[in-house]
Amino acid sequence: MTRWRWIWLAASLALAACHPAEQQAALPASHAPAAASSVPKTASRFEPPPDASMPKDDFGKQVLLGRQIFTDTGHYAKSYVGNALNCENCHLDAGRLAHSAPMWGAYPMYPAYRSKNHHVNTFAERLQGCFRYSMNGKAPPLGDDVLVALEAYAYWMSKGEPIGVAPPGHGYAKLPRPAQAPDYARGEAVFKRDCALCHGDNGQGQRVADRTVFPPLWGAQSFNWGAGMERLDNAAGFIKANMPFGRGNTLSDQDAWDVAYFMNAHERPQDPRFDGSVMKTRKAYHDTPDSLYGTTVNGSVLGQGAE
Amino acid sequence: MSMLHIAVLACCALMAKSVFADTLDGGSIARQGNGHGVAPCMACHAADGGGQVAAGFPRLAGLPQAYLRKQLDDFAQGARVNATMQPVASGLSDAERDAVAAYYSKLPVPQAKPAATLSSDDAQLAQSLATRGRWPNGLPACEQCHGPGGVGVGDHFPPLAGQSAVYLGNQLHAWQQGARRNDPLQLMQTVANKLSDADIAAISAWYAAQPATLTKESQP
């Protein structure tokens, strides 16, 4: 253990001692089903073309491969995947669903400057980031079939959309800030009530016949600390709009923030940009209240990684 | 015979009885009933636990033990309404419910009975619902919870593949109508309310015709 870790451990223990209430069990903040106020229904939402209209020619083959990568990433992009996730775990309906970071919401917005890496990213470069962080794997080289197929799929899906205009339903739902600061114990209660059935008591997910059915939410087989879903605002927006499956927009906003906090207050694989110091890595890449990386929760400094 | 002998014999008899009670034979309940008015399960669910397809009596063989146990409790308590199963489940003790659930969960999955063939339109509709869902209406794909090929996942998501089409259709309608409401988090009630009669007919027939276990070829 490094000296820094000792200092942090001591500091965390001191802090934990000051907040014994954090350890107590809590009830979710609200049991009332929430009005879906924060996720507007947009009348003029872009409709991606139906799968049946996928061309049957050589271009269509790449489009189809893109969709296959989306739904069975560990098989079709095996060498670039380092966990048990599939693209469609976070981009529902194989990347087609509004408020679930649909491909038609992203494709027309690139190339774009990203503060995440301080330069203008092509769409292919953006896809590389997905593999490096969300899939906890390695970036396919530019020009690799995996990137070409995924880009072809996103391009095909976005046909007819204006370029450079963020369409309604892009990204994840943006929730208003919660009335109460997100809380681990309340989040745990929401998790046990509404999430553990599918994702397991320890967020480990469930697999059948070597395929992920319910994705692991934290731990070695989940997304790493560099992924977008590590941000509380992204996670809360995704959860609110889409969880539990088929019952999106039934959690209260507060429940969504609390359970997002609970999920992201667990360890997951290290941020690949980690330079030996959790605090330096936090300052460089996680310097926002929406990231728990490098913060102390229940007496532990998050960001140690999970193997 | 001394009093001691009698006492020892009495103890042995009591122990034998309690040992018998602890190791209830689910198979004998399945074949002969429980001796207290509960009919043999196999009368409806067949000797191999494969059910009776046409009558809509479901296959029990190979279903998750915890799922079977929960259904018995729910029949007894009315969260799942069924005129035949209610008295059966109520007539079984806790230990008997455990034994029967354990017995059926360990039975091998019987060979699928020949299932009706679907029109290509229905098959296409069913496959799309099973593997893709209808997300613009908030309908997840069946296999997103019931697993690849609909073979079932964990304790809470039973297999659909190789199950009686009549049974599957009856359950989906029961969820729509609220006659069955024992699904965790109301997941199935929510899903069933997003299905049309045509959807239900197609998806039930389609899953009935799917292999109950994943073959090597159907695995990716």
Residue B213 placed within a domain: no
- B211 CB neighbours in chain A (<8 A) are none
Q: How confident is the model at residue B14 (pLDDT cuts 50, 70, 90)?
A: very low
Residues B70 and B139 in one domain: no
Please state the domain count of chain B: 2
Q: Is there a shared CATH topology between the A3-39+173-301 domain and the A51-157 domain?
A: yes
**CB A118, CB A175: distance < 8 Å:** no
User: Does residue A286 register a pLDDT over 90?
Assistant: yes
Q: How confident is the model at residue B169 (pLDDT cuts 50, 70, 90)?
A: very high
pTM of the model: 0.86
Residue B12 placed within a domain: no
User: Does residue A37 register a pLDDT over 90?
Assistant: no
Tokens read off for A46: 């872009």
Q: Percent of chain B having pLDDT more than 90?
A: 77
Residues B91 and B63 in one domain: yes
Locate the domains of chain A by residue range. Answer: 3-39+173-301, 51-157
User: Does residue A230 register a pLDDT over 70?
Assistant: yes
Q: What is the complex's ipTM, to 2 decimals?
A: 0.86
Residue B215 placed within a domain: no
Q: What is the dihedral of CA A4, A202, A290, A286, to 10 degrees?
A: 40
Q: How confident is the model at residue B51 (pLDDT cuts 50, 70, 90)?
A: very high
Q: What single DSSP character describes residue A287?
A: -
- Count of Cβ atoms closer than 10 Å to residue A296 Cβ: 18
Q: What is the mean pLDDT of chain A?
A: 89
- A209 CB neighbours in chain B (<8 A) are 147-149, 151, 214, 219
Give me the sign of the Cα torsion angle A19, A23, A25, A29: positive
The confidence score (pLDDT) of residue A54 equals: 97
Q: From CA A294, how far away is CA A285, in angstroms rounded? A: 11
Query: How far, CA to CA in Å, does A288 sit from each of A125, A285, B178?
Result: 24, 9, 46
The confidence score (pLDDT) of residue B24 equals: 81
Q: How confident is the model at residue A45 (pLDDT cuts 50, 70, 90)?
A: confident
**CB A216, CB A275: distance < 8 Å:** no
Q: Which residue of A has its CA nearest to B186?
A: A247
- Last-in-domain residue among B45, B80, B106: B106
Give the pLDDT mean for A246-256.
96
The confidence score (pLDDT) of residue A1 equals: 43
Give the pLDDT mean for B94-110.
96
CATH 1.10.3720.10 applies to domain A51-157 = no
Q: Which residues of B touch A (CB under 8 A)?
A: 132-133, 135-136, 138-140, 143-145, 147-149, 151-154, 156, 184-187, 190-191, 194, 214, 219-220
Q: Which residue of A has its CA nearest to B220?
A: A75
Residues B135 and B86 in one domain: no
**Higher-confidence residue: A23 or A40?**
A40
**Among the partner residues B135, B144, B187, nearest to A97 by beta-carbon distance:** B135
Give the pLDDT mean for A135-141.
98
Per-residue pLDDT reduced to its tens digit, B55-64:
999 999 999 9
| Residue keyed to tokens 């989306």 | A70
- Count of Cβ atoms closer than 10 Å to residue A179 Cβ: 11
User: Does residue A24 register a pLDDT over 50?
Assistant: no
Residues B38 and B88 in one domain: yes
The confidence score (pLDDT) of residue B13 equals: 47
**CB A294, CB A282: distance < 8 Å:** yes
Give the pLDDT mean for B83-107.
96
CATH number, position B43: 1.10.760.10
Residue B1 placed within a domain: no
Q: What is the mean pLDDT of chain B?
A: 88
Give the pLDDT mean for B105-110.
94
Query: How far, CA to CA in Å, does A296 sit from each of A8, A173, A291, A303, B115?
Result: 9, 27, 11, 10, 58
Helical segments of A217-273, H only: 232-242, 253-264
Per-residue pLDDT reduced to its tens digit, A181-197:
999 999 999 999 999 99
Residue B44 placed within a domain: yes
User: Does residue A35 register a pLDDT over 50?
Assistant: no
CB atoms A94 and B132 under 8 Å? yes
The DSSP element (H or E) to which A6 belongs, if any, is: helix A3-18
Residues B147 and B183 in one domain: yes
Residue B21 placed within a domain: no
User: Does residue B219 register a pLDDT over 50?
Assistant: no
CB atoms B187 and A72 under 8 Å? no
Nearest chain A CA: its distance from B185 CA (Å): 7
Per-residue pLDDT reduced to its tens digit, A60-116:
999 999 999 999 999 999 999 999 999 999 999 999 999 999 999 999 999 999 988
Q: Which residue of A has its CA nearest to B141?
A: A93
CATH 3.40.50.300 applies to domain A3-39+173-301 = no
- Last-in-domain residue among B106, B129, B155: B106
Residue B126 placed within a domain: yes
- B70 CB neighbours in chain A (<8 A) are none
Pairing of strands A112-114, A300-301: unpaired
Q: How confident is the model at residue A9 (pLDDT cuts 50, 70, 90)?
A: very low
Residue B64 placed within a domain: yes
Write the single-letter amino acid at A18. C
**Domain with B142 in it:** 120-208
**CB B70, CB B78: distance < 8 Å:** no
Interface test with A, best of B128, B185, B213 (most A CBs within 10 A): B185
CB atoms A209 and B214 under 8 Å? yes
- Last-in-domain residue among B75, B106, B137: B106
- B187 CB neighbours in chain A (<8 A) are 244-247
- B136 CB neighbours in chain A (<8 A) are 47, 93, 97
Q: How confident is the model at residue A10 (pLDDT cuts 50, 70, 90)?
A: very low
Residues B172 and B94 in one domain: no
The confidence score (pLDDT) of residue A27 equals: 64
**CB A2, CB A280: distance < 8 Å:** no
**CB B201, CB B122: distance < 8 Å:** yes
